[in-house]
Amino acid sequence: MTAVQHIPAQPTEFSFGPGTTALVVIDMQRDFLLPGGFGESLGNDVAQLRKVIEPLAHLMAAARAAGLPVIHTREGHLPDLSDCPPAKLLRGSPSQRIGDPGKYGRLLVRGEYGHGIIDELTPLPGEVVIDKPGKGAFYATELAQVLAQKSIASLLVTGVTTEVCVHTTVREANDRGYECLVVSDCVGSYFAEFQRVGLEMIAAQGGIFGWVTDSPAVIDALAAAPPITRAPAHTPV
């Protein structure tokens, strides 16, 4: 059992046990960050998300150095789109739809180059990558089991986009009893206003969905944390 650490945050200090905390990196995929991907097909200026990359790379390094699990997610669908509801496939009037051929392969389809995580934030060997068909990382995935297996109670939440997949995941996590700290400079939106209001919504009403702080505050707390000691994995006899 490791000591409880504290991070200055909104609306109050965030307390967490480093041994029961994971860093979750949501959908830092080429499809959302590069021109010619799914995000741009929806009419978005994907350059808006690039500012997340550098602080998130530093935070991931700090989390790894402190021994926290880093869990990545990717939004996307099976090649036959059988896991994509018609409502998601047909909604709106995008320039291209999910499954159409794009600059980096079929848009938002698993296994395509565009579906992959950007080079700057490539998962390390052994890190968990959750493939999710929805906006929330818990819906139709093994995330809950992974977190239970690792005895995780608190999540440091990062990735894109703030008001869509980050919010949905934080809301899902909140209802499942996880304490969520959203790292403000490590989440990004195509819309400056949604970024601001999306973060405010999480910490409002006494922290209705969780807490918000920035990456330097998290990195300071992780650097000050004593080494994590984990129980050895159970080996069946």
CB 170 within 8 A of CB 210: yes
Q: Give yes or no for residue 165 binding ligand TIU (CB under 6 A).
A: yes
Kindly list the distances between the CA atom of residue 206 and the CA atoms of 36, 188, 212, 213, 217, in Å, as whole numbers in the listed order. 40, 23, 11, 14, 20
How deeply is 190 buried, as exposed, middle or buried, from its count of CB atoms within 10 A (0-12, 13-18, 19+)?
buried
Reduced to 3 states (helix: H, G, I; strand: E, B; else coil), residue 67 is: coil
> Site for ligand TIU (CB under 6 A): how many residues?
10
Examine residue 52 and tell whether it contacts ligand TIU (CB under 6 A). Answer: no
Which region among 53-61, 109-117, 159-167, 178-186 touches ligand TIU (by CB under 6 A)? 159-167
- Binding residue (CB under 6 A) for ligand TIU from 62, 98, 152, 160: 160
For the CB of residue 29, give the shortest distance to ligand TIU in the complex, in Å: 8
C-alpha angle 37/43/46, rounded to 5°? 55
Tell me how far apart the alpha carbons of residues 172 and 161 are, in angstroms, rounded to a whole number: 15
Question: Rule CB under 6 A: is residue 172 a binding residue for ligand TIU?
Answer: no
Tokens of 218: 């998290």
Helix (H) or strand (E) holding 217, with range, is: helix 215-224
The yes or no reply on residue 185 touching ligand TIU (CB under 6 A) is no
Least distance from C-beta 164 to ligand TIU, angstroms? 3
Q: Among 174, 177, 164, 225, which Cα is nearest to 203's?
A: 174
Q: Which of residues 57-76 bind ligand TIU (CB under 6 A)?
A: 75
Q: Is 164 in the site for ligand TIU (CB under 6 A)?
A: yes
Q: Say whether residue 225 binds ligand TIU (CB under 6 A).
A: no
- Residue 27 in contact with ligand TIU, rule: CB under 6 A: yes
Q: Mask 88-127, x = binds ligand TIU (CB under 6 A)?
A: ----------------------------------------
Residues that bind ligand TIU (CB under 6 A): 27, 32, 42, 75, 135, 160-161, 164-165, 190
